[in-house]
Amino acid sequence: MTDTAVPVTTRKDWSSDQEIRWCPGCGDYSILTAVQMLMPELGARREDTVFVSGIGCSSRFPYYMNTYGMHSIHGRAPAIATGLAVTRPDLHIWVVTGDGDALSIGGNHLLHALRRNVNLTILLFNNQIYGLTKGQYSPTSEPGKLTKSTPFGSLDQPYNPVSLALGAEATFVARTHDMDRKHMMATFKRAYEHRGASLVEIYQNCNVFNDGAFDTILRKDARPNMLIPLEHGRPVRFGADGQYGVVVDDGQAKVVEVDDVDEAQLLVHDEHREDPSLAFMLSRIAHGPYSPTPIGVFRDVGRTDYGAQIDAQLMDAAAKKGPGDLATLLASGSTWTVE
């Protein structure tokens, strides 16, 4: 009998022998460490795990994991990972991408992977800049951003990745940051365990080209009053003394001082709510990382994943029409013979 028990592993088992080539102090190191430390806890096998990336600093990730992996093409990681996910549903597939890779040239691929509910765990590193190509503005850069490609300031309205994912009806959407390993690991674990499309936005500091982009909310002294922890089934409340909360007023989620409202008015977070409208409201509280910002799981709902739906279609077709015949398929429809 074959032993199906998953061998015990350590972080070292999941770490490759490749030299890590990120700038000293980059937030990517923290994310890599969190993932490598988490993998032994997941009960996963290295041979059943795949990391797929696009292009960018974050996309070097597969080199540093002792698993299968692919450093693919700019923006196309979700498309390539989709092909793998629907043909090999037994694999655990992670997509590692950045705000430029995922939301610019790859925006279309990301949206379709989310709306189809492909069984992928997507980690989106957001540093609000293009780091690999040396500091151009990205789809998440704030208006007025001065960079090499916007010397007079960016005119573009930035994406909110969490809002985008919720708008695409992703079944799992969360946000974390590179300054809290424990929170990252807990969030990544939830995303991994979810069957379907999971997207985790990670605020990640680029200390060379956009240093301190998240200091307003992530400085140690700022976090109690600037991070809004989302906990399922509990009122949305935060602050060093729990003095702030979130209510829904006139169709919007708003931050209030708890003393100014009846506590019963505080929004109770429901990550399993099928309608994503409340989760979307929460995602709109912060206009960029400059005001109180929700972190944690925004949405976690069940829906049959894309690969399972394809398998069901094929089985149904086979039951009704019998096994397929490739030669017949190729000769069907409009065909002709070349003399």
Read off the CATH number of the domain in which 57 is found. 3.40.50.970
Residue 4 carries which DSSP code? -
* Predicted local distance difference test score (pLDDT) of residue 2: 43
* Predicted local distance difference test score (pLDDT) of residue 323: 78
* Predicted local distance difference test score (pLDDT) of residue 1: 34
The reply to whether 52 falls in a domain is: yes
The reply to whether 128 falls in a domain is: yes
Tokens of 126: 């957001």
The reply to whether 129 falls in a domain is: yes
The reply to whether 288 falls in a domain is: no
The reply to whether 326 falls in a domain is: no
In sequence order, the 6+-apart residues with CB closer than 8 A to the CB of 41 are 185, 189
> Along the 339 residues of the chain, how does pLDDT read in single tens digits?
345 788 999 999 999 999 999 999 999 999 999 999 999 999 999 999 999 999 999 999 999 999 999 999 999 999 999 999 999 999 999 999 999 999 999 999 999 999 999 999 999 999 999 999 999 999 999 999 999 999 999 999 999 999 999 999 999 999 999 999 999 999 999 999 999 999 999 999 999 999 999 999 999 999 999 999 999 999 999 999 999 999 999 989 999 999 999 999 999 999 999 999 999 999 999 988 899 999 999 999 999 999 999 999 988 888 888 877 888 878 887 777 787
Domain that holds residue 194: 11-215
The amino acid sitting at 150 is: T
* Predicted local distance difference test score (pLDDT) of residue 65: 98
The reply to whether 160 falls in a domain is: yes
* Predicted local distance difference test score (pLDDT) of residue 12: 97
Please check whether residue 268 is in contact with residue 234, taking contact to mean a CB–CB distance below 8 angstroms. Answer: yes
Alpha-carbon distance values, 13 to 35, 60, 182, 215, 240 (Å)? 12, 18, 20, 34, 40
Q: Alpha helix (H) ranges present in the chain?
A: 11-14, 28-38, 77-87, 99-100, 107-116, 161-167, 181-193, 215-218, 223-226, 277-283, 306-321, 326-330
The reply to whether 277 falls in a domain is: no
For the chain, the domain total comes to 1
The reply to whether 284 falls in a domain is: no
| pTM (2 d.p.) | 0.94
Please check whether residue 118 is in contact with residue 109, taking contact to mean a CB–CB distance below 8 angstroms. Answer: no
Within 13 A of 19's CA, how many CA atoms are on the CB side?
A: 3
